[in-house]
Amino acid sequence: MDWLFFDYFFSTRVMSIITLIIIGINFLLAIGLIFLERRSAQSVWAWILVLFFLPVVGFIIYMLFGRTIYNQKIFIIQEDDKVGMEHLVQDQLDELSNNSLDFSNPVAEKHKKLIHMLLYNNQSFLTVNNSIETFTNGRDKFDSLLEDIRNAKDHIHFQYYIFRLDNLGKELYEALLQKQKEGVTVRFLYDDIGSRGLTLRNFRKFKNEGGQVEAFFPNMLPLINPRMNNRNHRKIVVIDGSVGYVGGFNVGDEYLGLNKKFGFWRDTHLKISGEAVKSLQLRFMLDWNSHSERNNLTREERYFPAVGYHGENPIQIASSGPDEKWQQIKYGYIKMIYSAKKSIYIQTPYFIPDPSFLEAVRIAILSGIKVHLMIPNMPDHPFVYWGTYSNAGALVKMGAEVHIYEKGFLHQKIVMIDDEVLSVGTTNIDMRSFLLNFEVNAFIYDAEQAGQYREIYEKDVEDSTLLTEERYAARGKWIKFKESFANLISPIL
């Protein structure tokens, strides 16, 4: 009996010590969240709830998903690159201050405050000599991309969040491999989490031909990645420094509408020719150099060739990420919304904005500005979807016009105001894109381009149903419960 009592007493004491250690770790993490990390109050409380209600599991979740990388110098700019870029940005800032910048477009001049903000915060220099081709169908986009790859003469810089080696992926891989065999330099950058299942071993043949491949924030251990949250969500292709692609399509058969669950995949992607390609090139170079130790890119004429006349579309390429002090693309969105005089159009798969974005939209509605929002009819992430549906329903009650896309899955990320300024890129309307992921968007100042998008939006309305107050009020209790839970954890979705 004495031994049984001793074993019981000892095991109880050990468990008490372990419990105290776990409570202590949770307490220290909570202190760190509150006082050390730059987070919103909503995010802090959400993580504290996770840590204290799920002591062990919450700690693991935090280590995988919760850590921040603020103030880390991930993207190192070589001194020559830094000077060249800063001179261009400073020159444009000075010209804006002196009212001497030649916009060559009345829309760009009208929105010079937005241009100034992106220049100042993001070093997103304005280019005006550009032409744009817009793709809303995956097959059309990838057919165009494949043609440009086959016509490449010097280099191909290829970057995607998701790259699958399915039928489409193999088609692109073979095209890139063939160009490498022909002597064209090909660099391939993929995100290690977005492209899960893809490893450097898949590129042996490509690398044997001289191709260069890097994974963004790769796994340190099998199945474990300490940077689950901070992913490179950008999709950029630059060919010969003269043609650039940016937008929402990743590489996979589902983006061609071949997935039975999602059906038709509705997305938007841009093909840009002109001076703005230099901005995409610079963005790729910074991303590449952040993970390539032996094959760093430096400024060379071959990467930034002289550009002839291509058009008159003013464009700023803006990027954002958790390493930055400011949430540049979110600021761009909010500045657009506050600048709107007549209308705001938003298409997004996820609509879980932070309070500053949501407040801007509410103020716009109350000011008599027509707000149009389009969201998908199905979830690819359940909690995110019900948070989206809840926020959309709240805006309907205020007078916004909300459509639910029914033809397939809606994935594009679009914000447009007054049929004048348009932002297209990789940035969703959620905390993940605003704070955690590395994103890139094109801000376009052109009434003709905005008019084309307005026509595209109206065509999408034909494949959508209107979310009315009556329809939203008729949702069941189970949906209301899912909405409430999604709203509770929305700061960490």
CB 242 within 8 A of CB 157: no
Contacts 24+ apart (CB under 8 A), 17-23: 22/55, 22/56, 22/59, 23/55
**What single-letter amino acid sits at 361?**
V
Per annotation, catalytic residue among 235, 269, 310, 403: 235
Per annotation, catalytic residue among 418, 430, 446, 460: 418
Residue by residue, DSSP assigns 51-100 as HHHSHHHHHHHIIIII---TT---SPPPHHHHHHHHHHHHHHHHHHHTT-
Per annotation, catalytic residue among 287, 411, 430, 460: 411
Per annotation, catalytic residue among 155, 233, 271, 330: 233
Question: Three-state DSSP class for 122?
Answer: helix
Catalytic residue list contains 102? no
Token pair for residue 431? Answer: 């905390």
Alpha helices in 341-476 (DSSP H): 355-366, 382-398, 431, 447-462, 469-473
Per annotation, catalytic residue among 148, 191, 192, 240: 240
CB 405 within 8 A of CB 377: yes
Q: CA 344, 392, 335, 453: dihedral to nearest 10 degrees?
A: -40
**What single-letter amino acid sits at 476?**
G
**What single-letter amino acid sits at 372?**
H
Burial 114-136 (b: 16+ CB within 10 A, else e): bbbbbbebbbbbbbbbbebebbb
> d(Cα 313, Cα 357) in Å, to the nearest integer?
27
> d(Cα 261, Cα 257) in Å, to the nearest integer?
10
> d(Cα 157, Cα 327) in Å, to the nearest integer?
26
Pairing label, strands 351-352, 429-430: parallel
CB 266 within 8 A of CB 457: no
Residue by residue, DSSP assigns 372-394 as EEEEESS-SSHHHHHHHHHHHHH
Per annotation, catalytic residue among 179, 310, 413, 482: 413
Catalytic residue list contains 403? no
Catalytic residue list contains 170? no
Catalytic residue list contains 269? no
Catalytic residue list contains 155? no
Pairing label, strands 408-410, 264-266: parallel
CA neighbours within 13 Å on the CB side: how many for 415?
A: 24
CB 313 within 8 A of CB 446: yes
> d(Cα 396, Cα 474) in Å, to the nearest integer?
14
Residues marked active site are found at: 233, 235, 240, 411, 413, 418
